[in-house]
Amino acid sequence: MAYEHIVKLASDLYFNRVDTKFAVADMEKNKEVLRQELVDLNGGKTTVSYKDLRDNKALFQVIELILETTILSGFKDNEFFEQFVDYRNVKLGDSPSFYIPDNSLFVVSDTADGIFGVKRQRINKGQSVTIPTVLKTVHAYEEANRLLSGRIDIVEFVDKMEKSFMNRRGQDIYNAFVNGINTLNAAFTANGAFVENTLLNICENVEAATGNDPIIVGTRSALRRVNTAVLSEKMRESHNELGYYGNFNGINMMRIPQIHAPGTFNFLITNNDLFIVTADTKPVKFVTEGEAIMEASGSIFENADMTMDIFAGEKNGVGLVFDQVWGQYRMP
């Protein structure tokens, strides 16, 4: 591919990778390299002329490829996503399903020598869960005179498209996690003002039931309400840096980044709940189906109002599949 180095640089910057021939210590310098590559591709200009809109197919081909290899093909670095989201891409028309194994254990009995008449136990099968996908799209345009005057920049336009898709993915994932987990029956729950021993007891029960290390998950506002009688200097430093201690009696804490409900300034995630789950499970299943859809209009004369269009879309779906017990601490 003629412009592979530009697309790779954009992808590496987006996913915070620096293993390209442009790599330097300063990420801002890398961003400037990418900007200059796009500007050079546009004949040394950051604005787009009528002739560019008509003739410069390569510029919009690169924009298309950058979008496909960044926001439309994966996730940006996000601790919550990395910990709890199981990402999978399937071919168009394939069944986007996840196999959930049965986690129950056999009962081991005390048996006298020579006795083989032990009650048989069936090997339980797991289950397959299908995640349906829906086409998500953005149809954006820009007025030619804004492009000509330089009031909108090529790099800014691409970045806004990326952020828009990432914000929608975040909304869907958080909705699936929070709404889904609230409909399940937590094996270990507590309600009321925070008490250290109560939270510790829930964590111990989750660990005993699953055999895996527990992790405390919540928003920053929820996590900062977790207190402990014994504080180290390192915990105080962590509280100053994160807004919460980061560790509770040897148990890791993880923040769910807060997000607004679409079209409002209302928080989407409750600040009153702490979720106690295991660190080795990824309950959020996120599926993309087929390839990204990307199309740019080749001429401003395609639209009566002389605007430039870019249409982007992907088929994706998200669901919550819990195969282990978990706990919840709801505070007033």
Grouping H, G, I as helix, E, B as strand and the rest as coil, residue 143 is: strand
Are 199 and 258 in a shared domain? yes
Predicted pLDDT at 105: 43
Annotate 93-117 with b (16+ C-beta within 10 A) or e (fewer): eeebebeeeeeeeeeeeeeeeeeee
In a domain, 21, yes or no: yes
In a domain, 92, yes or no: no
Q: Where are the beta strands (DSSP E) in the chain?
A: 85-90, 97-100, 127-130, 134-143, 188-191, 214-218, 247-248, 251-255, 273-278, 284-296, 307-320, 327-330
In a domain, 202, yes or no: yes
Are 160 and 218 in a shared domain? no
Are 279 and 260 in a shared domain? yes
In a domain, 59, yes or no: yes
Are 306 and 165 in a shared domain? yes
Are 17 and 152 in a shared domain? yes
Per the structure, the complete domain to which residue 153 belongs is given by: 4-85+131-176+286-317
Are 276 and 220 in a shared domain? yes
Q: What are phi and psi of 60, to 5 degrees?
A: -80, -25
Are 200 and 290 in a shared domain? no
Predicted pLDDT at 201: 94
Are 162 and 138 in a shared domain? yes
Helix axes 27-41, 154-183, angle to 10 degrees: 120
Q: How many Cβ atoms from other residues are within 10 Å of residue 53's Cβ? A: 22
Predicted pLDDT at 244: 93
In a domain, 291, yes or no: yes
Residue ranges in the chain whose pLDDT is less than 50: 1, 20, 104-107, 109-112, 121, 144, 148
- Tokens linked to 295: 């199309």
Amino acid at 280: D
Verdict on whether the full-model pTM lies above 0.85: no
Predicted pLDDT at 60: 67
CA distance 165 to 185: 32
Are 200 and 268 in a shared domain? yes
Q: Which of 169, 135, 174 is nearest to 275 (CA)?
A: 174
Predicted pLDDT at 102: 58
In a domain, 60, yes or no: yes
* CATH code (residue 251): 3.30.2320
In a domain, 91, yes or no: no
Q: Which of 275, 287, 252 is nearest to 322 (CA)?
A: 275
Task: Tell me whether residue 31 is exposed, middle or buried, using C-beta atoms within 10 angstroms of its C-beta: 0 to 12, 13 to 18, 19 or more.
Answer: middle
Are 56 and 150 in a shared domain? yes
In a domain, 104, yes or no: no
DSSP state of 175: H
Are 60 and 192 in a shared domain? no
CA distance 221 to 173: 20
256, 181 in Cβ contact below 8 A? no
Count of domains forming the chain: 2
